[in-house]
Structure 1
Amino acid sequence: MAYIRAADRQEQIVAATIRVLEAGGVSGTTMRAVAAEAGMPLGTLHYTFPSRDELLRTVITRVVDDTSAALREALDLEQGVEHALRQGVRTFWDRLLDGGTGVQVMQYELAMYSARSDAGGLARLEFARYTDLLTELCSEAAAFAGEECAVPPDVLARLVLGVVDGLVLQHIANPDLARSERDLAHALDMLVALAAPRRR
């Protein structure tokens, strides 16, 4: 068997886990299923990730990090908070539509699984990382543009996350692209009005 660097092996396992989660949900995501999808012995998987919880935490971190990289690439934070809100949400939404809703459904399922099985640990991790990311982006955009908002960045971040998650769930449950796009435009107007960014 060819040598695989530890970082590459971990990446291979995380990618396989995401595929298994998308196909079979949390209940179907066993260590054995992930090892088979990754094409490696079960012992190798257990050596890299001793527990399924540790593996799922790594998956959540990877998905949020991927989202963070895409948002940072799309945003020109010097254009201020309104740009960050509109372009950031639009980038996330377009990625969702282009890539399908499987990863988003996986995240919701992991959050609900977490609420029932591990006292919410995975769900807290997921939402804390997203909230931290959005708080950082809003804070950086405000600082670059010399702006201040009517609400604190962490409050704005939680509300953005709540509104977007709600729209995504509605789109998953009842796909209607035209309706979803209209609702997204109204939601962005509402969030920008709430933030009310102004020059210091």
Structure 2
Amino acid sequence: MGRMPLADRRRQLTEAAIRAMTRDGVARTTTRSIAAEAGLSLSVFHYCFDSKQALLESVIETITEHCIRVVREALRPRATLHETIRAGFQAYWDHVVAHPGEHMLTYELTQYALRQPGFAHLARRQHQLYSDTYGDLIDQLRTAMDFELAAPTPVLARYLAAPTPVLARYLAAMTDGLTLRFLVLGDEEAASEILDMITDHVTGLVRVPAP
């Protein structure tokens, strides 16, 4: 086994944990099974993670990174702001449809953390991460707005008829609920209609000041 930077080894183990937990469930996944999934020794696992809490936090952050990466790529300026926002939602939704087990794992992680003594802060961290991520995406949307409005500087605060933190929490709650509904009912058409409605709503919050 060649030498690998600690950060890369942690990433390797985290991805192995996601695969194992998606397949077997959080409660049934052990440190030994994660090490085996990664093709590493148990001693390497304990060198990289000093607690199960540290591992679960890394899992939560990495799963969020998986879908947010494709959303960031989709949020490039398009013909209209509406199209840009809808493309971002669609990128997220395509990830949900392609990786339902991984998204199902996020809900299991929440329940596990809330039921496990001393782990509740991980569930709070998980949902705060969702809101923070949407806040970052709203900031990224400034570029798209400036492109469409030909504004010389980012001025999203003047155009958005809702505080960024409030909108970020709203979008996190909306996609969280919509994702769970899809995992239960499997209704892609209904999900698409809801995403269209949310896109209309968010676009409607944009206020362009008079010249």
Q: Fold match, TM over 0.5? A: yes
Q: Which runs of 5+ in 1 are unaligned?
A: none
Shift in CA distance, 92/30, structure 1 to aligned 2, threshold 3 Å: same
Shift in CA distance, 78/86, structure 1 to aligned 2, threshold 3 Å: closer
Deviation of 1:84 (Å): 5.0
Pair 1:167 & 2:166 matched: no
Q: Which residue identity is paired with 2:163?
A: P
Which string of whole-angstrom CA distances, capped at 9 and with x for unpartnered residues, describes residues 77-112 of structure 1? 697864553222111001211x22111111111111
Deviation of 1:64 (Å): 2.0
Shift in CA distance, 140/4, structure 1 to aligned 2, threshold 3 Å: closer
Q: Which runs of 5+ in 2 are unaligned?
A: 147-154
Deviation of 1:158 (Å): 0.9
1:120 and 1:130 map into 2 onto residues whose CA distance is 16
Which string of whole-angstrom CA distances, capped at 9 and with x for unpartnered residues, describes residues 107-157 of structure 1? 111111112223521122222122112112213424752442111111111
Once the two structures are superposed, the pairs formed by residues 124-143 of structure 1 within 5 Å of their partners are 124-142=124-142
1:46 and 1:163 map into 2 onto residues whose CA distance is 37
- Alignment match, 1:181: 192
> May I ask how many residue pairs the two structures share in their alignment?
197
- Alignment match, 2:163: 152
- Alignment match, 1:198: 207
- Alignment match, 2:108: 109
- Alignment match, 1:20: 20
User: How large is the RMSD of aligned CA atoms in angstroms?
Assistant: 2.2
Instruction: State the identity %.
Output: 31
TM-score if structure 2 supplies the norm length? 0.83
1:89 and 1:158 map into 2 onto residues whose CA distance is 15
